Structure 1
Amino acid sequence: MSVPRIFDMALRARRRDRAARNFDAHGFLYEAAAEEMLDRLMDVSRTFRDALVIGAPTDMLPIALRARGLTVQVADPGPAFAAARGGVAISEDEPLPFAPGSFDLILCCGTLESVNDVPGFLVQLREILRPDGLLLVAFVGAGSLPGLRAALLEGDGDRPAQRIHPQIDVRSAGDLLSRAGFAMPVADVQSLRVGYENMTGLTTDLRGMGGAQCLASAPPPLTRSALLRAMIRFAEGADPDGRVRERFEIVHMSGWRPDPSQPKAARRGSATVSLADALKGGGKTPDA
């Protein structure tokens, strides 16, 4: 079965390379997601040796993992980001350049939201993990950018175009991990609200973090009048202090590569487990 081509991988790489010039001024979403991933990793009671970081516009994750004694490899969809971290450039539509069982820990931060074949990519990640290896993923998910979405629809009027990427919701995220063969899959959401004086500030941040749209079927540019309508609509959502609070929903997922030492799954629906609880056993959690 062919995979729909929603995103243009070459365009995505160019967007990330353009963002590399001044990422630190706009990278708050990456920093928030990465800090949360590291906090969750602290709850894991097992020791890891070899890690892969996918999505590394800063040294934040590699430095933190190396400080814990791990050997770390880095990969990024943007060649400039990858080169700056001494890593390799990848396209998630192509086979990953790592041998099966190369890692016991993978952190994938801020790239899964623009992958065409998400189940296929997760399967690749499972294959390069060792048995009982851990995958942590964070990406911008469903419910994000409602203010910008409404403003762009207002600008387009009777002929709306798709200008914001389709987004994965947290329920689907857990199902995707299960489909890809991960054990004990868990997903939850980290919500952030960020204030902007105007729509231009928001779009500048999105471009600066490499998050500008990279759809394979690019929408037509907004006309000047359409852009003005969108900016007015966005401003109408301002709080009393004059700033619009835009929402970002960061979906976090975790899953383990199956191993015979892991507990058997409980009867479906017999228990609910938070992401933090699922991590604490280092892949070894008590039966529900």
Structure 2
Amino acid sequence: MSQPRVPQIFAGKRRDARAARAKALATREGAANWLYEELQRDVLERLDFMRFEPARALVTGHAAEGLAAQLQARVADVATPTSPDEEQPIVGAPYDLIVSHARLDTVNDLPGALLHLRNALAPGGLAIAQFPGAGSLSALRQVMLAADGERPAARLHPQIDDRAAAALMQRAGFAKQVVDTHRMTVRYRSFDRLITDLREQALTSVLVSPAPYVGKAGLARAKAALEAMKDQEGKVAETFQILTLTGWR
């Protein structure tokens, strides 16, 4: 009996191109990196709290080098693959620690990716995966609906909530799995700054079917919608609901 085909929601080539563009943009002065700074801080705090001292670690995702550099003070061997494919067995296993930053929300076979992640851990190894989950980018979603008018297009990724993530962790065979969320709120004065932040941090769309071009009229509607949402200080609050999956082998 043939295995059911995994729906192709995300395009691997678009994801690689997004990562390459974000890496190039990160060299500019003042480039946004606040999301990954928060993810890195959170991972280090978790390791300190658990008093976990891995010998070999793997870190994937945009700006992985930043966390890898901080881990090198406590881990003898830290790997940062340039183009990881989470839907294939992980090269170089086993690892005592695997950290995935903002990657697993854009894989087509998430159950399979989590299974590969668990299989790449050494006995007693720890996996931490973080990405924006359900409830993220609510302001942008409203703005783009206004931009598209009567013909809304799929421009934002489908998002995973904590209950679904917990079920998937259990299905993959992780021990002592924990899924938790915390909210980041970032305030913007302009639509352009919001989009720039997303581009600089590899958070733009990688859907397999690109949405139609917005056009000048759609862009004007988007900016007008964001303008209408501003508070008394002239800013719009955007939400990033960070989902953190933690599990042991």
- How does the TM-score come out when normalised to structure 1? 0.81
1:65 — aligned with what? 71
Count of residue pairs the alignment pairs up: 243
Residue among 132, 156, 177 paired with 2:124: 132
Q: 1:106-145 counterparts in 2 under 5 A?
A: 106-145=98-137
**Cα distance in 2 for residues equivalent to 1:139 and 1:147:** 18
**Cα distance in 2 for residues equivalent to 1:107 and 1:245:** 29
Residue among 7, 10, 17 paired with 1:7: 10
1:49-72: CA deviations, max 9, x gaps?
111111152532111211013311
**RMSD (Å) for aligned C-alpha atoms:** 1.4
Residue among 30, 39, 48 paired with 2:45: 39
2:91 — aligned with what? 97
Residue among 177, 185, 199 paired with 1:185: 177
Q: Is residue 147 of structure 1 aligned with residue 139 of structure 2?
A: yes
1:196-225: CA deviations, max 9, x gaps?
111111011111111111110111111211
1:213 to 1:133, Cα distance in 2 relative to 1, 3 A: same
**Cα distance in 1 for residues equivalent to 2:208 and 2:86:** 15
**Cα distance in 1 for residues equivalent to 2:65 and 2:19:** 15
**Cα distance in 2 for residues equivalent to 1:97 and 1:46:** 23
User: What secondary structure, in the 3-state scheme, does the structure 1 residue paired with 2:6 have?
Assistant: coil
Largest Rg, 1 or 2: 1
Using the aligned pairs only, state the percent identity.
39
User: What secondary structure, in the 3-state scheme, does the structure 2 residue paired with 1:33 have?
Assistant: helix
**Cα distance in 1 for residues equivalent to 2:115 and 2:39:** 22
**Cα distance in 2 for residues equivalent to 1:63 and 1:203:** 28
**Cα distance in 1 for residues equivalent to 2:99 and 2:240:** 20
**Cα distance in 1 for residues equivalent to 2:96 and 2:199:** 33
**Cα distance in 1 for residues equivalent to 2:129 and 2:56:** 17
Stretches of structure 1 that go unaligned for 5 or more consecutive residues are 76-81, 83-88, 258-288
- After TM superposition, the runs of 4+ consecutive aligned structure 1 residues lying more than 3 A away are none
1:136 to 1:154, Cα distance in 2 relative to 1, 3 A: same
Q: Is residue 255 of structure 1 aligned with residue 225 of structure 2?
A: no
1:165-199: CA deviations, max 9, x gaps?
11111121111111111011111112111111111
Q: 1:172-211 counterparts in 2 under 5 A?
A: 172-211=164-203
- How does the TM-score come out when normalised to structure 2? 0.93
1:285 — aligned with what? none
